[in-house]
Structure 1
Amino acid sequence: MTHKSLFALLIALFPVIATSCSDDDDEDLIGHWVRTSDFDGLARGEASCFSIGNKGYLVGGYTGKTRLNDLWEYDMTTDAWTQKSSFPGTARSNGTAFAIDNKGYFGTGYDGTNNLNDFWEYDPASNAWTQKANFPGSGRYDAVSFGVSGKGYIGAGNDGNYLKDFYSFNPSSNAWTQIVSIGGSKRQGASSFVIDNIAYVCGGINNGEYVDDFWKFDPATGQWTQLRDIANTSDEDYDDDYSIVRKNANTFVIDGAAYLTCGESGGVRSDTWKYYPSTDLWEQVHDFKGSARTVAVSFSNGTRGYIATGKSGTYWFDDIWELHPYDYDPDDD
């Protein structure tokens, strides 16, 4: 078999809520995961991350005992971690972060007692944090966010109830504006990515059900558009015999295509999928090579993508893996 498209996948593969393809089948898929330099900080999950140029940044998270406020920079060129100026706000997990131009933004989350709505800017040039206008929605955790076309967006999550509201942040005016809510389901633990100035949001959970609708947002029009579901909801016009629904998945973009991996749906997952925006189709690629996990972080410079940290059961991880999307040599395993 070569390049298993979604349309050729057998239903039999998908009792694998917490497992993945057999080794033999997996070797037929494109892509290859490579372990790089372990994260220098404490093993953790539920951290947040953003990317600026050739650097990925990881902030906060939870060790299973302690919520954190440290900030780490990963250099994709040198494969090296450097600790940076700690986040000065309340230590937290389950926040959300994004980058706009050459600065990172971080906010919301949970401190072990309270749902938070404060919001901060990090400038790598000065290695300094600045508090910005509070996120205007309710304090929440497991929100989803993205930066696109010079503005940031935060929405959905959970404040004691599942949410679907969305807000945009203008860094020039330090001001928030509520925008039209994402369509379809409310959701917590959704994932997002940006390709060609269009943002995409999928996955998450709502009232105990894993969300299967998939949306894109165009900042030029301010409108959401529904795409094909990411589950088996076939009709005569479209045979989508697969299901990649999950919460807390990781996404990144390499060369104009998105990759989604890890997360959980009844158990932790390692199956990995490539999304082609030109056709609105997904293709399975080589499974994530590290331990299956959830609440990890992911970052990319547009040509390289990484997964780091996360948890599975009582295990908390400090490893980091890079996906090489075009090559796979079983002899490298």
Structure 2
Amino acid sequence: MTHKRLFALLIALLPVFVSSCSDDDDDDLIGNWVRTSDFDGLARGEASCFSIGNKGYLVCGYDGSKSNARLSDLWEYDMTTDAWTQKASFPGIARSNATAFAIDGKGYFGTGYDGENKLNDFWEYDPATNTWTQKADFPGVGRYSAVSFGVSGKGYIGAGYDGNYLKDFYSFDPANNTWTQIISIGGSKRMGASSFVIDNIAYVCGGVNNGEYISDFWKFDPSTGQWTQLRDIANTSDEDYDDDYSIVRMNASTFVIDGAAYLTCGESGNVRNDTWKYNPSTDLWEEVHAFKGSARTVAVSFSNGTRGFIATGKSGTYRFDDIWELHPYDYDPDDE
């Protein structure tokens, strides 16, 4: 093989990463992404995560090495020591595209896809004893790419995909191990949506429905059980506040720092790396510095309320094992 042919072949084999904005566009944006200790497990995408105190937990996922390479391992990330520790493996069916949340010091994990079946089993992880316990099955149809959150002592799972796009929602009460169907999220059915919680209010945005990326944005108040529509995350108004919005996507990663939410990565035709900050007091978004790792989708995110991290994910057939922390009030020194 000639050198020219070999070079062309190597270029063709490299993964393609797409950034939504140029380095010049980022020069005046606040925020600096810092790479921390790489994930100790296999590189993967489509994993699930939950945060408890200063610990983040990553479970299951898909490593892409063969046709059904679903995983069942559990890893704990210590935000204080920047160290990963492998914990008790998930005892249920290995899966990807499941969903997870935390309530009162315990993690909850369920739904997902095992390569053949859409699942509805549901499990609790206790970090104090490093043990898993199966709980009452999620009562909706088996599904994957659902969205979930834990707020005010209860967990919520809804939307996703079971062969059709969904918008139904259910509440889980860990005190009595019971599920209750609640009012469905308004607007569009969706899979691959993102969620975050600020001051005991949950927010859901993004996702896709029948090939259309969703622009509506909703908040849920557990004290009333009601959904309220907020401003769209696309330029759909006659005002100028949303003229530069480019937030719409699926499979984005979110976390909360100091009462503001951050949304990054995901996909909307191409993988993304642009990052947006949401202020709940104004219901407005502003762009911050783009994620500095390779653009990706289906990554996981951890937060203790004052620090936020992104880990793993994929672009095309390429899977990642890096982890990055956002320093939201710094400028990127590479731009100076």
Give the TM-score range, shorter chain: over 0.9
Please state if 1:163 is matched with 2:162. no
What does residue 9 of structure 2 align with? none
CA contact (8 A) 1:18 1:266 kept: no
What does residue 304 of structure 2 align with? 301
What does residue 109 of structure 2 align with? 106
CA displacement at 1:163 relative to structure 2:
0.1
CA distance in 2, matches of 1:87, 1:238: 48
Please state if 1:92 is matched with 2:105. no
Question: 1:109-161 CA distances to partner (integer Å, 9 max, x unpaired)?
Answer: 00000000000000000000000000000000000000000000000000000
- Report the 3-state secondary structure (helix = DSSP H, G, I; strand = E; otherwise coil) of the residue aligned with 1:24: helix
Moved more, 238-247 or 183-192: 238-247
CA displacement at 1:18 relative to structure 2:
4.1
What does residue 36 of structure 1 align with? 36
Runs of 4+ in 1 over 4 A off after TM superposition: none
Question: 1:246-282 CA distances to partner (integer Å, 9 max, x unpaired)?
Answer: 0000000000000000000010000000000000000
Of 257, 263, 266, the residue aligned with 1:254 is 257
What does residue 56 of structure 1 align with? 56
CA contact (8 A) 2:300 2:312 kept: yes
The unaligned stretches of length 5 or more in structure 1 are 1-16
Please state if 1:24 is matched with 2:27. no
- Report the 3-state secondary structure (helix = DSSP H, G, I; strand = E; otherwise coil) of the residue aligned with 1:115: coil
CA displacement at 1:27 relative to structure 2:
2.0
Normalising by structure 2, what TM-score?
0.92
Of 283, 305, 308, the residue aligned with 1:280 is 283
The share of aligned pairs that are identical, in percent, is 86
What does residue 4 of structure 1 align with? none
Of 98, 123, 128, the residue aligned with 2:126 is 123
- Cα–Cα, structure 1 residues 284 and 239, in superposed 2: closer, same or farther, change >3 Å? closer
CA distance in 2, matches of 1:133, 1:306: 31
CA contact (8 A) 1:18 1:264 kept: no
CA displacement at 1:171 relative to structure 2:
0.1
Normalising by structure 1, what TM-score?
0.93
What does residue 8 of structure 1 align with? none
Of 129, 147, 152, the residue aligned with 1:149 is 152
What does residue 240 of structure 1 align with? 242
What does residue 73 of structure 1 align with? 76
Matches within 5 A, 1:194-273: 194-235=197-238, 237=239, 239-241=241-243, 242-273=245-276
Q: CA RMSD in A?
A: 1.3
Aligned AA for 2:232?
D
